[in-house]
Amino acid sequence: MQYIFIVNSNCHKKRKKTLEKALSELSVDVRNKTTVEYTHYAGHAGELATNYAEKYGSECIIFACGGDGTVHEVANALAFRQSPMAVIPIGTGNDFAKTIYSKELMKKPVTILKRLDEPNIRPVDLLRIDSYDVMGNHLPMWSRYSLNIASLGLDTLVQAKAKQLVAKHPKSLFFRNNAYMIAAISCLLNGWHFTMDYSIELANGEMVEKKGLSYSLVSICNGRYYGGGFCPAPGADVSDGLLEVCIVDHLSRFSAMSKLLKYKKGKHIGEKAFTCYQSTSGIFSSVDSNLQAQGNYDGEDFFGHKIRYEVIPNAIRMAIFS
């Protein structure tokens, strides 16, 4: 088995050095089967993953070493391929890894290197997002697979603000660790308003439709966590062939703080203002023909007047270490 480590060059410097040290301490036999590649531009992780998957097929494990952005690129590259994907969470946001790894392993992710010969390789699901313009034309630049969570609304505004904070303070660990919470408070103070139509196919095949719904946010979840630790889907399973969809009604600024704290902790299920579905597919449409919906998948922005989602069961092979 070949081990390919694709490392985000812009990931947390201390964590990257820790990974590099751990790699240098591997046995000679394992190092001879190990390749380390560093990304140099947006999309590079996906290109590297594609190249090695074509070269080695099922005889390699390709590690996404970084945050959710790196995971997103590698997952899109390896969808429907034979090469298993693995994750070493050393980035700014490591939310997908929280679903598949224990808290202990999240604290010391490089310990995965001591278990390279013990991977649990199994198929997991992907979430497919397809975006369309107001005329119904498909928008391929904003249509992708997501391994973790896609969302619309307030949390996307929060994410955009968080990105700005991290970019403004690139060397600050405080802003890296707290950017989402600071951004959330800022957005709560400024207010918001979103309206949509939706049609959702439930796990049992039934359809649920609503028109002109005012909402705060929508999360479409394969994994459990996003946005720096928010937990919209505490029961999500990446291998069950289902997605957990959570729709949060429009909230006043007064109620938003307490409601969203429950949402962050995963204690919102069954609470007023939260509607949750187990779903296989669905469509969300912007009511205003002049205003696109703005969303994100795995932390990457996308836009569209109509957003269609679908679960793709067993679409990628994942090497999970425990």
Of 225, 158, 168, 215, nearest to 189 (Cα)?
158
Chain-centre distance for alpha carbon 282: 19
Instruction: Kindly indicate the confidence band of residue 220, based on its pLDDT and cuts at 50, 70 and 90.
Output: very high
Neighbours of 234 (CB within 10 A): 14
Architecture of domain 126-313: Sandwich (2.60)
pLDDT tens, 271-320?
A: 899 999 999 999 999 988 777 888 999 988 999 999 999 999 999 999 99
Region of residue 153 (left: phi > 0; alpha: psi -120 to 50; beta: else): left
For residue 216, what is the enclosing H or E element?
A: strand 207-221
pLDDT of residue 265 exceeding 80 = yes
Query: pTM to 2 decimals?
Result: 0.90
- Local structure of residue 41 (DSSP, 8 states): S
224: three-class secondary structure by DSSP: coil
pLDDT tens, 104-132?
A: 899 999 999 998 988 899 999 999 999 99
Give the separation between CA 263 and CA 256, rounded to whole angstroms.
Answer: 10
What pLDDT sits at residue 13?
82
Give the separation between CA 296 and CA 185, rounded to whole angstroms.
Answer: 19
Tell me the mean pLDDT in the region 70-84: 97
Chain-centre distance for alpha carbon 35: 25
Q: For residues 243 and 149, is the Cβ–Cβ distance under 8 A? A: no
pLDDT of residue 255 exceeding 90 = no
What pLDDT sits at residue 118?
87
Residues of the chain with pLDDT > 90: what percent?
A: 69
User: Domain residues of the chain, as ranges?
Assistant: 2-118, 126-313
pLDDT of residue 86 exceeding 80 = yes
How far from each other are the two terminal CA atoms of the chain, in whole angstroms? 19
What pLDDT sits at residue 95?
93
pLDDT tens, 137-182?
A: 999 999 999 999 999 988 787 777 787 887 888 777 777 777 777 8
Q: For residues 202 and 196, is the Cβ–Cβ distance under 8 A? A: no
Name which residue leads in pLDDT, 3 or 11.
Answer: 3
CATH number of 2-118: 3.40.50.10330
